[in-house]
Structures are given as C-alpha cells and as structure tokens.
Structure 1
Amino acid sequence: MKPHVSFLPSPGMGHIIPLFQLAKCLVFNHGFQVSFFVITTQSSAAQDQFTRSAAELSPDLNIISLPETDVSGIIFEDMRILTQICVITRESIKSLKPMLIELNPTPVALIIDIFTTDAMEICEELSIPVYSFFTASTPLLALSLYLPTLDFEVEGEFVDLPAPVEIPGCKPMRTEDLLDQLKDRKNDEYKWYLLNVSRLPYAAGILVNTWENLDVQRIAALKQNSFFRSIPTPPVFPIGPLIKEEETLKEKDAEILAWLDNQPCESVLFVALGSGGTLSSKQLIELAWGLEMSKQKFILVVRKPTDANASGTYFTVGSDEDDPSAYLPDGFLEKTSGVGVVVPSWVPQLAVLRHRSTGAFLSHCGWNSALESLVQGVPMIAWPMYAEQRMNSTMLVEEIGVAVKAAAEIGEVVVGRKEIETTVREVMQGEKGKMLRSRAAELKRSANEALDGGGSSYLSLSLLVDIWKSYLKK
C-alpha cells in the first residue's frame, strides 16, 4: 500500500505552489498517494487555472476542492488581506473533517501552511499528525516562533522599539523590516497572525523552503539554540528550494520568449512584482521613466495602479487584463519600442528567469520569486512592497549578497526615476552587476547540490519520507 498524505494550503498562489511542488515530489519521486485540498472561496482565476491543470498530472495526485462558502456577511472592504485569508480559511475548513474521514486509506499526515492551523484541532480528533510547511523565509520563521514571547514582553508597538529586535541566536531585525502584520497590534491582522504562529510548536515538524547553506546561522539557531528548544520548536526540516518546474505557455508567452531569443546574453532586466503586487500611480510613472532613462532592455509586467493597497490584486490575479497604455506615462510605449516589452498582468516567470538573455530581476522579494531567481542564478534589484518582503530584501542584499535595493530619498515614499536609472545601469552594466552575477552563480550551484542525491535538502526530505512511511506500520 502506498503511503497517503494530505495537503491544505491557504488561499493564494504563493501558498499553493510550494505545497504543490512538495506533493508532486512525493508522488513522482517517493511513491506516495496525495490528497491536495484546495480552498475555492474567492479563488483567483490564476488559482483556478492552476488547479485544473494539476488535476491531470497523476491518478495518485487527487485535487479535492473544499466547497465554496458564503462569506459576504463577514468579509468587508476595509479588511486587510491577511484577515480576509484567515476568515475565508476558517469558514472553508468547516467541511474538512468529514472529507478527511472519507479518504481511503487514512492519511498518515496532513501538511498545512502557516494560515491553515485551524486544521490542527480537527486532525487531533482523527489522530492524524500535522506538519507545517512554512513557505516563507527563515528570518520570518525565526521571528514567528519568537513572536509570542515578544508579544508578552513588549508593551506598545514593536515599531516604536528603540533598537532592533534581538531574536535568540539570529541576526537582529530592524523594526522597519518587520512584517506588515506586526506594525499595528490593535488590528485584527496582528491577532490572526499571532494566533496562527502560536500554534507552530504543536506541529509534528516544520518544513522550510530553504536549504542549509543559504542561512546557516538561523537554521542552526532553530535546531540548537536553547530558547527555541525550550518552546519547544518541533523538528525543522529544510527541504528547499522547491519551486515551479514548468509552466503552461500561451501564444502571447511564446511571443515574449521569441523576443528574448533575439536579445544578447544577460542583457534584459525582468521587472515583475509578484502575483498580488500593485504600484501607486506616481510610483508606476517613476518606474517607467527610470527604465526608459536607463536605456537597458527590459520586460515590464504591469498592472493597473492603485493608491490604496499594495496587495490589491491578491484575489484577482490572472483575471482579465487591462490596456497598459491607459495608465503608463504618455509617450512611454513609443519611446521604448524595440527596447522593452510591456506585458499586462502575468508572464511565465520561470521561463523568463531561465532564459539566457535575462540578466537581472527587479523583484518584490516574495520568497517564491526570490527562490526562483536564486535557482536560476539571476541577481536581483530588491523592490519590497508588503508582508515580509522587506526582511527578505534585507537578507538578499546584506546577508546573501545577491541583490541591491533601489531606495527612495530620505523622507520620500516613492523611488525616483533617477535612482531607478542609476540602479538599473549599475546592475546591468557596472562592476556591481558582475559581482552580483558571480554570487548568483554560486548560489545556483549550492541550491542544486542541496537537492541532488546526498545533498542536505534531499536527505532532510528523505528523513521525513521515512517517518511518514513508518506511520503505516503502527
């Protein structure tokens, strides 16, 4: 009998993709049967397309849609994104228990992510071990495990602390780099986040989408530091980098790749700010003119700007596309014709990053995108927007040395066109860019070695596989 595990990601492509990559790995490399639960309430077009294609991959990979729930009376326009995710998740998994009971054979484990911890109580009733796949970076994992202590010890707002946050065994974290959800403790977002991370110690194990050599200090602290051992922190398994392996290409995607085919090696800057990110109107104008002034080749993925919310397209990514000429600066498309390609809403990101002509990636520093860039050996211009992206940006720039940051002037919110021009030229043509590309190549080799047979992530996942298989014998 094949060992059977289930997965339950929270809504959003950034949560679904890494859990699904692990599910595929278990099915195709380790002989598992997988039931992959999907929350369908307010799902985006991109998520719907993804799950349709996923359902065709293997009879051992069963996609199970949780019934849609009516959240119209409990989701409001002024709710922040994390609160919406958690409310939708809580309502959706009310149907999970009978669906788990119906599975045959009973799963030996349920793998959740950071915002589906409500499932722990259900699985305790059913005697199913729960493992948390922490899909974000190790700085956020360390901070999340430390947060209940920080919450208890600190009065007032964390952002008002006079010094960086000292996380045991880890590098100090500047208050300006803290997760958005931790910057207003009176908001429901903070309460939801604290609730979910306070449950991490009750998991049977924590899987992390990274590899040992990328963050030696924090991984060692999570495993060995006396503070984390006393929580107690469950066993930590670095099993990454797990990224998408392939993408479905549309006709317009083929046109983009054909354009790349005709460009010199490492000459194109890829600009994409994630599946949920949107710029303000003023920032989009400055970014566009900064790209034009740099005279560098580029692919710009652009969405209709919003001045209200940087994560404004989280639940609508993959929907109908707008006409970029309606909100890009007048004359921009004409001035950059032949130099750049402007794409509304969505591109096959992995295919672009893999291409020999791509020389750098202007990225929001979401962890999935950061890993995709590292695995392909592409340096970055860090452009964090929301959630934990600022701490990821700091890690990539100051610790790993694979990125530079385009910064706004002191007292300004918007990064100006001249700064963008200078940064782009520095990365694409300057000595700094050569150093970044060399470092990116080192990390590409390191990532591949971790995943190869005998590598640290390969061995970590193999240990997990043995644990799950041992549950069959009990």
Structure 2
Amino acid sequence: MARGVTDLQSKKPHIVVLASPGMGHVTPLFEFAKRLVLLHGCHVTFLNITTEASVAQTQLLHSPNLPPGLSVVDFPPVDLSDMVDDDASPLTRLSINVQQNLLSLKSILLEFHKPQAVVIDLFCTQAFEICKELSIPVFMFFTASTYLLAFTLLLPQLDRDVAGEFVDLPAPVQVPGCSPVRTQDLIDLVGNRKSDNYKWFLHHLSRVPMADGVFLNTWEDLEPVPVRAIREHAFYKKILTAPVYPIGPVIKESEPVTETGAECLTWLDEQPEHSVLFIALGSGGTLSAEQLTELAWGLELSGQRFIWVVRAPNDASATATFFNVGGDKNDPRTYLAERFIERTRGRGLVVPSWAPQLSVLRHRSTAAFLSHCGWNSVLESLSHGVPIIAWPLYAEQRMNATTMAEEVGVAVKIVAEETAGKRVVGREEVERAVRMTVEGEKGKEMRRKARELKQSAAKALRNDGSSNGYESLARVVSQWKVNGKI
C-alpha cells in the first residue's frame, strides 16, 4: 500500500494530508503538502483515494519527482458497485467513496505512530471521529473561496429557518459581514434540498466547526471582507471557535510540459504581447454541442488570437469529465464547426483536452483567460496578473464569477440567453466579451487590477516576517512541533 514511505521517526513533524477525489481538491492539497515539506521542514504523507481516481490524479500523485520528505500512500481500491447507483450525483458518489476508504484510516494512522496532525478537505469529514479517538488534531483546508465558507457556515441556520427552496427566495441571501448572495448565484449543491447532493453537502459543512483550525486558500487583499467577517463577526465567532489561517494563494508552482504543451508555448512565443485569449473550462467542465458551436463562431467573429483547450461536447452534464480527467481522447475536427480550425489557423490554436495552464498564464503574450471560474483557476489567473472572462458551469463558480466581476473588478461575466428552455451564450455575446477584454479599455483596466493582485499575492507568500500566508502557516507548524515535542 505504501509508496516510498520514508523515515517517519525523523525529527520533523509528521503531517498526513487527505483529499477527496477530483483535481479541484487533490491539486491544492498536494501543493500544500509540498509547501509543508519544502518551506516548513515537515514530513508529509499524502493519502491517495485510488477508487475512481482520474488518470490526471494518478499521474500527479505518482510523479517520479516528488521532493524528499513527501510520500504518497494509496488506499486499496474499494468496490462501490453495490453502494452507488450509476446515476448517482458526483457529490453522493464521492462521499460514499471517501466513507468506504476511510474505514482503514485508523489502522494507517496507527501504523504511522500517530502523526502530529491530519489535514483534510471539506468532503473528508468522516475523519474527524477517527482522529478524535486517536487524539490527533484535524485541520481543514478549505479549497474554495472564503466567501463560500462564510455562506456554508450560514447554511445550517438557513436550513432551519427557510421552509422552501433557497432558489425561490424573493431576495438575496444575507451573509453576515459579507455581500449578499443572489439566488441565481447560489452553489448548485443547495439548489434542491430534497436531493442526496444537498444532504451530503449539509452533512459535511455542518462539521467544519469540528476542525482544530481552518486553512483558507486566499490572501487578505483578494478577499478582505470575507476574511474579516470569518475572523471577527459575532455570528462566525460563535460557530467557528477554531482559528482561521489565510495561507494562499496555494497554486501549482510548476507542471510537466508535454510535446503538445511545448507546441502551445512555441506558438505563443510568436504572438504579440498581451494579444492571446486562453480558453480552458477546468478539469471537469464540458459544453453542449450547441454551446460549443456558438463559442467557436464567437471566437472567429471576434478576430482575436486564442488558444482553446477543447473537449468533446456533452449535452447531459457540465461535469462530464469530473471522474475521468486526463483520460478522454478526442479529435476536435469531428465536432467543431465545419472548417473552423482551417479558417482560424495562424490566429487560433485548438488543443484537445489539456494545455500547460500555468505556462500559458504566465506568458507575455497572454491577454486574458476565458475560464469557468473554479477557485484554483481564479487563483492561478490572478497570481499571474491575467484578467478573466467568466463562464461559470457548476458548483460555486457563479459566486466566484460575480465576486471577481463586481467586487474585485478583474472579470467580465458572460451573459447567457434563455432559448427554448435552455441557457445558451450566443456568438454575438462571445464576440462582445472577447473584444472588450482583449483590446478594449475595460480589458486594460481589468489587467491593471489583476497585476496589482499579482504583486500582492507574491507579497503574501514571502518569508519577510510580516503577517502573511507564509507566516500564518509557519506559526501552525511551530505549534505542531511543540505539541509533538519535536
């Protein structure tokens, strides 16, 4: 089961990190684990749930280039066939998967001679009871925005006080100390209170106060109001007695560049500065066939340069690749508008399934990022000073899009039209948003604000003695050393 487990008896705090399946959670927690090892002198064991793990997850965690002091331990595969229906929602499937895997957590922790702490994400809360029995502190790494944390901590009270569906409320939801959330921006998981999705979400988030501390993947210049509210507002101080630690942005520092990725970067090298739109809708995001066609036409009409990471369309689900990221094979010529690739050749580059996102975002030629607004992508974009065209698909992405557009001022939201019961972003809207962001005055202003946040993000991670993300995490590690008598 173990892979390269090294000297656990060394004079370093031993921390176990546990993430639920899905690249949106695995990636930031794995980067967090590397940060503990490389910057804070910890030994870290990352527990990998292999059941229904995507190809991308397996490749990431089983890279041959792990830093010394970071070990990956695989849970043995679990048979879910008698526990989860094929049509179960992603969160239901994920939660049962985690629940079954954690049946062996106690024996693993005992084998490790009880580490100084366990760090989990929101969907691994079954670990609380196991770790409490062993007297091991549990910290939560909240992978989404602090604004979403503020809303989720409010949700148990809303569940008690509101009789009907939240999406039918006549006014926005008032979040203590923060901006209200419009009903159309609510996270998908609360859209149907009778669903298993909602019940699992409520179950997990109601257990956040059990944590001994909460790591926030943000920095104070990005989310000053939600961070202050979580720390100081009476409502949250009563619910969440554990300290919170803004330690972000925790994002990938590097990534492998494949042959296809190298072609992307070579093509970018030949483009003018700040002239290229990068289009990528996340590790699990897919568009319908109709929407894919409209996006293609809008890009062509805009006349702007672009790199488009494209996947085969799926009319049934916007999360169709959630559990098989990195495993889809497709030929864009079979489903894009007729001769689109030929007509945009030289001005546009179509890449199937994957591109080196970090390298593209930090490239001088990149002007903007058309993104689903998953939190990891938001952090990566702003950490490299790139403004966003927000195209939210699922989960809390609509909340992120609204915040980035209306409060932070680094994004423009795509507007969809209701047609025959479907919401579709038309080609004219795509053309408008792309032109405005890449070459318009609003785009220049968003780029200026994004560059300011790039500078403040870098400052938050510096080891300069200030009260920032680096120092926040260093204080926790110091406490782990004291508690473990190291």
TM-score where L is the length of structure 1: 0.98
The one-letter amino acid of 1:186's match is K
Whether the aligned pair in 1 keeps the contact of 2:418 and 2:424 (CA below 8 Å) is: no
Please list the CA deviations of residues 24-58 of structure 1 after superposition, one character each: whole Å capped at 9, or x if unmatched.
111111111111101000111101111111x6423
The residue that corresponds to 2:482 in the other structure is: 470
Q: Which residue of 2 aligns with 1:59?
A: 68
Cα distance in 2, alignment partners of residues 410 and 324 from structure 1: 27
> Given residue 71 of structure 1, which amino acid in structure 2 is its aligned partner?
L
Of residues 155, 163, 170 in structure 2, which corresponds to 1:162?
Answer: 170
Match among 75, 92, 101 for residue 83 of structure 1: 92
State the partner residue of 2:41: 31
Q: 1:410 offset after TM fit, Å?
A: 5.5
Q: Quote the residue 1:382 is aligned against.
A: 390
Distance in 2 (alpha carbons) for counterparts of 1:430 and 1:216? 28
Q: Deviations over 1:220-258 (max 9, x none)?
A: 110111111111342110000010000011111111110
Deviation at 1:461, TM superposition (A): 1.2
**For 1:456, which of 468, 473, 484 is the aligned residue?**
468
Give 3-state SS (helix, strand or coil) of 1:214's partner: coil
- CA distance, structure 1, for counterparts of residue 324 and residue 300 of structure 2: 29
Once residues 266 and 60 of structure 2 are traced to their aligned partners in structure 1, the CA distance between those partners, rounded to angstroms, is: 24
Q: Which whole-Å CA distance do the structure 1 matches of 2:276 and 2:65 have between them? A: 35
**Deviation at residue 208 of structure 1 after TM alignment:** 0.6
Alignment partner, residue 26 of structure 2: 16
- The residue type equivalent to 2:473 in the other structure is L
Which of 101, 109, 117 pairs up with 1:100? 109
2-side partners of 1:410 and 1:288: how far apart?
A: 19
State which drifts further: 182-191 or 457-466: 457-466
Q: Show structure 2 runs of 5+ residues with no match.
A: 1-10
Paired position in structure 2 for 1:291: 299
Match in the other structure for 2:126: 118
Match of 1:244 among 252, 263, 271: 252
Q: Does 1:417 align with 2:441?
A: no
Task: Give the one of 345, 350, 364 matched to 2:353.
Answer: 345
Q: 1:365 aligns with which of 353, 362, 373?
A: 373
Match for residue 403 of structure 2? 395
Query: What is the rounded CA distance, in whole Å, between the counterparts of 2:414 and 2:239 in structure 1?
Result: 38
Q: Which moved more, 1:376-385 or 1:161-170?
A: 161-170
8 Å contact 1:222–1:233 — kept in the other structure?
no
Moved more, 351-360 or 223-232: 223-232
Rounded Cα–Cα distance in structure 1 between residues aligned with 2:240 and 2:263: 52
Q: Is this contact kept in 1: 2:218–2:246, CA < 8 A?
A: yes
Partner secondary structure for residue 452 of structure 1: coil
| Mapping of residues 303-314 of structure 1, within 5 Å | 303-314=311-322
- CA drift at 1:65: 0.5
3-state SS of the aligned residue for 2:28?
helix
Matched, 1:68 2:77: yes
Partner in structure 1 of residue 7 of structure 2: none
Counting aligned pairs with the same residue, the percent is: 56
Provide the secondary structure at the position in 1 that maps to 2:431: helix
Letter in 2 for 1:247: E
Per-residue deviation at 1:127? Answer: 0.6
- Tell me, yes or no, if the aligned pair for 1:67 and 1:95 is still in contact at 8 Å: no
Answer yes or no: is the 8 Å Cα contact 2:221–2:453 preserved in 1.
Answer: no
Please name the residue that 1:428 is paired with.
438
Unaligned 5+ runs, structure 1: none
SS in 2 for 1:318: coil
TM-score, with length taken from structure 2: 0.95
CA distance in 1, matches of 2:76, 2:443: 49
Post-superposition shift, 1:455?
4.8
Aligned to 2:5: none
